[in-house]
Amino acid sequence: MKSKSINFLIGVFAFAAVFLSQSSIASTCVGKFPNPITDICWECMYPITIASINLITSGQEDTPNPSELVCACGNPPTIGTPVSFWEPMRRVEVVRQPFCMVSLGGIDLSVGVNAPAAGGLAKDDGTTSVFYQVHWYVDPLLFYLQVILDDKCLDNEGFDMSYPTELDPLWNDDEATRLINPDLYLFLNIPAIAACAADCVTATAGFPSNTLYWCAGCQGSLYPLDGNVGSSVGGVEASMLLAERMTAKLQREGLMAAASGPDAMCGYVPQIIMDKTNYKFQMLFPIPQTTQIAGKCCQPLGRTTVLWGAGKEFPYQGEDFVYEVFRKRNCCQGAF
């Protein structure tokens, strides 16, 4: 009888240990729902131009816009005026724990899929090689907030978590990801890597260089298009790089299209090599990037994180990251 009691106690302690261990793991998944009113820097939509006339600028940066006063599209037949703005249309979260939905309030959606968790390896040069999972959301704020209705110039998809990298076998494998990223072989050399310093300068002064399309400005190399960051000095820089890589990866895979330029006036256009000047990013979590620095609260791809990223990473609840993605939109706004 005594032996049975001892076995029972051992079983209870073993169950408690497993339960507490699982609770501890689950507790690492923290987050919050972004408030679309207070957590979004709406100035990132600017400048808004109509027929090359700046309607609202608010001191924000912009890329070239069509200079025509009148535009026309064939399907459906449209005659109108060119309009340009930066549309908040996607959300990307960079997480340590697989299936931790940070921007859904910190929900753990583990479904038994064996996906690698975040990891890091310290290197002799003081940097760390790291790995994160990424979740890509369809997030057309202007549409589902009903700011503007029935406008073909806006992304009108519903909110959706459309791409979790836990289900992508290419995301954690540098060799396998070369199936969609074979041009990586052209840039595995010192001159190509060193050229990214010039991209850092142009991105910090304005917008990145599309000539150096393999670079992610001050975040280093945009390639490979996976979750392995070979040299990181912090979570903000690494997460920003992976948000940029994910954007480029989806365009490479044909899952997202460009929305600016003369060819996009009447609809979206495929773009295998991403136009890096098409995107701005704004941090939503752990600390919403709503305080303006030098008049701005979002940044183009590749801009240094030194100023805006200070104090945005901290232990436990500040080690996962969420960004809102703004895409440049040129569109023929129909008058008829």
| 131-189 pLDDT tens trace | 999 999 999 998 877 666 557 888 888 889 999 999 999 999 999 999 999 999 899 88
- Helices marked H in the chain: 2-27, 141-144, 190-194, 196-205, 235-252
Half-sphere exposure at residue 128, Cβ-oriented, CA atoms within 13 angstroms: 13
What is the model's pLDDT at position 19?
33
How high does pLDDT run on average in the chain?
87
pLDDT-wise least confident of 64-78, 216-230, 298-312, 313-327 = 64-78
CB of 69 closer than 8 Å to CB of 81: yes
Report helix, strand or coil for 114.
coil
CB of 72 closer than 8 Å to CB of 81: no
Report helix, strand or coil for 150.
coil
CB of 288 closer than 8 Å to CB of 312: no
Closest CA to 220 of 253, 249, 187: 187
Beta-sheet pairing, 53-56 with 279-285: unpaired
pLDDT-wise least confident of 20-29, 238-247, 277-286 = 20-29
Beta-carbon neighbour count of residue 315 at 10 Å? 6
pTM of the entire predicted model? 0.89
321 has a pLDDT exceeding 80: yes
For the chain, give the percent of residues with pLDDT over 70: 89
Q: Please provide the size of the chain in residues.
A: 336
- Give tens-digit pLDDT for 40-61: 999 999 999 998 899 999 999 9
Beta-carbon neighbour count of residue 36 at 10 Å? 17
Question: CA-CA distance, 272 to 48, in Å (whole number)?
Answer: 27
For residue 140, what are the contacts with CB-CB under 8 A and spacing of at least 6? 87, 88, 89, 154, 155, 156, 157, 158, 159
Question: CA-CA distance, 313 to 238, in Å (whole number)?
Answer: 11
User: 164: cis peptide before it, omega within 30°?
Assistant: no
pLDDT-wise least confident of 10-24, 88-102, 308-322 = 10-24
Closest CA to 310 of 233, 254, 215: 233
Structure tokens at 256: 């997202």
- Residue 111: phi and psi, rounded to 5, are -125, 25
Structure tokens at 66: 């069509």
Q: Give the CA-trace dihedral at 245, 247, 252, 258, to 10 degrees.
A: -150
User: 64: cis peptide before it, omega within 30°?
Assistant: no
Please give the residue that has the higher pLDDT: either 72 or 150. 72
Structure tokens at 199: 């991209």
- Quick one: average pLDDT of 311-322? 94
CB of 323 closer than 8 Å to CB of 89: no
